[in-house]
């Protein structure tokens, strides 16, 4: 592979990452991927001496960094609402987000009629997370721990871990598939055991 091809590949990679970033629902992920793409494209622009392009991408990097820092320093105010899994609002949310829930949890049947514990987490009055489980003696066997795409930045998980002890919850157990959930579970401090994950509160 000659030098010219490598330089062009760098340019295409930077462009691809910038474009892909705009397909992401999470604003944080969008800005992170966009920043990486802009840094790569800035390098490409300097190599080919396209300084206007380089300056524009440097500005994009600085803007993204500014907003990422701002978002990391901004506390999101959530509220938690105790619900019955048979409530009309819960049924509506499960139907509305059913495709995404199945993507996140492929083995889920979307039947939570046996869950005796349910919470909806809201942000500015908007439902953004569903948490259902079977509770016994302060131990919750989690049936669903779902956040809508725009709010998958671990902040809701941290909020729930802070709030649930006040609800009498001592520990959480997750027995479902970790195919798309492993990073979240480990980030939240769950310990992997024999076929399940557990988190003491």
Instruction: Check residue 1 and give its pLDDT.
Output: 65
What's 111's DSSP letter? Answer: -
Q: Which residues pair with 200 in a beta bridge?
A: 171
Q: C-alpha distances in angstroms, 120 versus 6, 38, 50, 87, 191?
A: 50, 37, 51, 11, 25
Instruction: Check residue 84 and give its pLDDT.
Output: 93
Sign of the dihedral defined by the CA atoms of residues 100, 96, 167, 106, in that order: negative
**pTM for this structure?**
0.68
Strand segments, DSSP code E, in the chain are 78-82, 117-123, 126-136, 139-147, 171-174, 191-192, 197-200
> Residue 56 CA to chain centroid, in angstroms?
29
Instruction: Check residue 134 and give its pLDDT.
Output: 96
What's phi and psi for 86, nearest 5 deg?
A: -95, 0
Sign of the dihedral defined by the CA atoms of residues 19, 22, 23, 29, in that order: positive
Instruction: Check residue 164 and give its pLDDT.
Output: 94
Task: Please provide the size of the chain in residues.
Answer: 201
Ranges in the chain, pLDDT < 50:
none
Instruction: Check residue 83 and give its pLDDT.
Output: 95
Instruction: Check residue 77 and give its pLDDT.
Output: 82
How many CB atoms neighbour CB 93 within 10 A?
20
Instruction: Check residue 75 and give its pLDDT.
Output: 62
Task: Identify whether the C-beta of residue 174 lies closer than 8 Å to the C-beta of residue 150.
Answer: no
Helix axes 27-47, 51-72, angle to 10 degrees: 160
Instruction: Check residue 68 and give its pLDDT.
Output: 82
Q: C-alpha distances in angstroms, 64 versus 12, 28, 152?
A: 20, 9, 18
């Amino acid at each position: 592979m000659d030098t010219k091809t490598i330089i062009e590949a760098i340019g295409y990679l930077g462009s691809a990452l910038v474009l892909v970033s705009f397909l992401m629902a999470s604003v944080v992920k969008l800005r992170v991927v966009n920043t990486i793409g802009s840094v790569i494209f800035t390098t490409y622009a300097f190599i080919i001496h396209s300084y206007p392009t380089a300056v524009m991408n440097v500005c994009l990097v600085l803007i993204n960094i500014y907003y990422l820092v701002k978002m990391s320093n901004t506390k999101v105010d959530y509220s938690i609402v105790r619900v019955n899994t048979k409530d009309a609002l819960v049924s509506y949310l499960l139907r509305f987000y059913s495709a995404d829930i199945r993507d996140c949890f492929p083995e889920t049947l979307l039947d939570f009629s046996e869950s005796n514990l349910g919470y909806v987490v809201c942000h500015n009055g908007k439902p953004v997370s569903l948490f259902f489980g079977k509770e016994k003696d302060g131990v919750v066997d989690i049936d669903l721990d779902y956040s809508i795409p725009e709010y998958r930045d671990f902040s809701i998980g941290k909020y729930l871990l802070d709030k649930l002890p006040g609800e009498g919850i001592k520990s959480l157990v997750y027995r479902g598939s970790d195919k798309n959930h492993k990073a979240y579970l480990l980030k939240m401090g769950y310990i992997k055991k024999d076929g399940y994950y557990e988190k003491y509160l």
